[in-house]
Structure 1
Amino acid sequence: MKSIFDEKTYQEVLKRLERLTPDSERQWGKMSVAQMLWHCQMPIRLAIKNKKSNKKSNPLIRLLFKKSLYSDKPWRKNLPTIPVAKAREEKDFKQEMNTLREMVEELHRLKERTNWNPHPIFGEFTPEQWGKLEYKHLDHHLRQFGV
């Protein structure tokens, strides 16, 4: 299972990001490419920033979701998005690309960190689980835009 903390996987993600353009067309879903770039920042921000959530995780959802982290099978298309991670208005492609790239780079630099924030829906994650989650989320949306 790939992790954003693995150097080869990290470089692959950066190269895939570089292949996106403002005109990249989605293969499914409703987001524009710029909205997707903004959306992909949300779980990284949860992991690396000191942003706490008051939400309690659901044990059943947590169990089912965490199992998907250890599967090489990609997430299915058109999964629901939590409201806070939905882009309500159009975003600037260049700005969102730069921000996401910086956040992915920061996340990768922090790979040795041990004190990660809990996920607001899925609860406590190990560094290994955060690395896999971040990769799977980015991969899902990069595939959404054909890269």
Structure 2
Amino acid sequence: MNTLFNIESAETILRRLDNLTETNIAKWGKMDVGQMLKHCQGPLDIALGNQVLHTKLNFFQKIMLSIYKPLLFNDKPWKQNLPTAKEFRITTPQIFLEEKKNLKLRIETFSKKTDVKTWPNHPLFGYFTPEQWGQMQYKHLDHHLTQFNV
């Protein structure tokens, strides 16, 4: 399974990101390329402790999320048009080059934290092992880079 904690996997994601241009069009979804770049920073910010979300879930939501949690870090690609948590929806225009630079910085920072053993809980899914955090971050970025044909 690919993980951002693997040097080659992280470099592959960064190379794909370098191939992304402002003119890339999404194969699915509502975000443009700048919004996607901003969106992808959210989960990295959560893991890095740069952002804290206080999400209240009801019992039904907790049960549903626990069923879907393993799909976040297994080796199967995510399906297209999955719903996005409202906290991670980006609907305002973004500056492409600025968001691309910000995302690259977060990826580089995250991928170097191979020695971290305790990560913040995810606001929706709760506890992840370090391995699961690395796999989930890779999978999320792969999903969106694929969405924009890179």
Alignment map for 1:1-147 (pairs within 5 Å): 1-56=1-56, 58-147=61-150
Among the aligned pairs, what percent are the same residue?
A: 40
C-alpha separation in 1, matches of 2:72 and 2:26: 24
TM-score normalized with structure 1 length: 0.93
Q: State the alpha-carbon separation in 2 of the partners of residues 146 and 18 from structure 1.
A: 12
Structure 2, unpaired ranges of 5+: none
CA contact (8 A) 1:41 1:100 kept: yes
Distance, in Å, in 2 between the alignment partners of 1:70 and 1:54 is: 22
Give, in whole Å, the separation in 1 of the partners of 2:132 and 2:83. 21
Q: What is the CA-CA distance between 1:29 and the residue it aligns to? A: 0.5
TM-score (norm: length of structure 2): 0.91
C-alpha contact 2:73 2:139 (8 A) present in aligned 1 = no
Q: What CA distance in whole angstroms lies between the structure 1 residues aligned with 2:87 and 2:18?
A: 26
SS of the residue 1:142 aligns to: helix
Asked if 1 retains the 8 angstrom alpha-carbon contact of 2:26 and 2:33, the reply is: yes
- Give the superposed CA RMSD: 1.5
Check whether the contact 1:56–1:123 (CA below 8 A) recurs between aligned residues: no
